[in-house]
Amino acid sequence: MSFDTTEANRRSGAFADRDELWLFGYGSLIYKAGFDYIRRTPATITGWQRRFWQGSHDHRGTPEAPGRVATLVEAPGAGCMGMAYRITPAVFDHLDHREKNGYLRFSTPMQLADGGVEDGLVYIATADNAAWLGPASIDAIARQVLVSHGPSGANVDYVLKLAESLRELGADDAHVYAIEARLQALAGAD
């Protein structure tokens, strides 16, 4: 089964007509860009919330034992804090490859830390992609994360680094913090 969305993102051509644009990161993009950018600033999008409902078969897990990584799900009135990067389309190849496991390019308005509002690019894995794992209890998510490893490392490191980065931003994210707390409790029980 293929999860690769690289070609779909290239064919869409979304944002390819711009010299520069904003990219919104809400998972590992907050703390690990891995690409050249012009500017970086905290930002918030509304109507979305971060959830560990996407499978990671290529970075934090394997096809046989996927990890769980963040995606966005619609949530009217909710706010999701992350990091905005001013980029050029030259980084699309890198981003499309990095986000290839079910993530597609979407456009969303984001409020930058300076109060400005800009339309930007965001990669979202929706429920209709082949790597979608969907909702689960905090305990079930934490137990899966605890045992998952992939080419990019341990799934638990992804969750803990994201929680740490969100705290540094002053973000309120009960879902991420609950998974972090459950992981710490499970690790302490060993």
User: What CATH number should be reported for the domain holding residue 61?
Assistant: 3.10.490.10
DSSP SS3 for 75: strand
Is 190 a domain residue? no
Is 73 a domain residue? yes
Is 163 a domain residue? yes
pLDDT digits (tens, 9 = 90+) for 42-58: 999 999 999 999 999 98
Residue 1 has pLDDT above 50, yes or no: no
How many domains is the chain built from? 1
Catalytic residues: 99
Residue 2 has pLDDT above 50, yes or no: no
Which tokens go with 166? Answer: 């969100």
Is 1 a domain residue? no
Quote the DSSP letter at residue 88.
-
| Residue 175: other Cβ atoms inside 10 A | 15
The residues, any chain, with a CB within 8 Å of residue 72's CB and separated by 6 or more, are 26, 45, 48, 49, 50, 51, 80, 122, 124
pLDDT averaged over every residue in the chain? 92
User: Given pLDDT bands bounded at 50, 70 and 90, which one contains residue 6?
Assistant: low
Angle, helix 174-188 to helix 138-147, in steps of 10 degrees: 60
Is 171 a domain residue? yes
The domain of 138 spans 6-185
DSSP-assigned states of every residue in 118-165:
EEEEEEE--TTSTTB-----HHHHHHHHHH-EETTEEHHHHHHHHHHH
Is 44 a domain residue? yes
Model-wide pTM > 0.75: yes
